[in-house]
Amino acid sequence: MARRIAYTGAPVLTLEQVAYQCQAEPEDLQPELINLIIIPGVTSQGESKTGAAIREAIYEEDWPAAYPSGHSLDVGQVVAVESVVVLGDAGQVSPFTGEVELSQGGRESYLHFPRGRPDGRLRIRYRAGVDLEAYPGVLSWLLMAAETVFTHRGLLVVGQSLAEVPSSFVDHLLSDITVPPRF
């Protein structure tokens, strides 16, 4: 299971975009609610629903020795591999200096070792985030979700988090980046 280390990209929505979607002026909205709860909340919901990174971030995942070259990475929409290290049995960490190749499937990304996969457990650090120009439906989903949350904020904003945005016909807008389920 991949771990998000840190977001590196800007938020995927702006206050102005959400205001336009809500047919309001930015100054008429609650900027703190939009910027600190709604935008991060709908981004997180989209990421958990799809298994893909929407806002660019650094991820790290460990591969057991049994994963072969060409195995899929846990998070979808990987754009670059930052590093690969070999994890020794006694906890030592050795950087892998060989060649790695990232190949993009429609929804998944695969890591290849052209000159052979190193033996043992690996820790892979990579950067992932969706290209909203390539997948405009994702932006539409985010904006519709943000509008829904803002319009029904009394029901959906609980404390400092969001209750799940109700499922609807618009969820198919995320299908292009949804990582298939694994065992």
pLDDT in tens, 48-79: 889 999 999 999 999 999 999 999 999 999 99
SS3 content of the chain, % helix, strand, coil (to 5): 30, 25, 40
- Predicted pLDDT of residue 124: 97
Q: Three-state DSSP class for 61?
A: strand
Is the distance from CB of 39 to CB of 146 less than 8 angstroms?
A: yes
* Residue 161 clears pLDDT 80, i.e. is over it: no
Residue 163 pLDDT class (50, 70, 90 cuts): low
* Residue 91 clears pLDDT 90, i.e. is over it: no
Buried b (16+ CB within 10 A) or exposed e, 53-79: bbbbbbbbbebeeebeeebbbbbbbbe
- Predicted pLDDT of residue 98: 92
Please list, in sequence order, all residues whose beta carbon lies within 8 angstroms of the beta carbon of residue 58, skipping any fewer than 6 positions away.
4, 5, 6, 8, 82, 125, 126, 127
This prediction's pTM: 0.85
Residue 109 pLDDT class (50, 70, 90 cuts): very high
* Residue 183 clears pLDDT 60, i.e. is over it: no
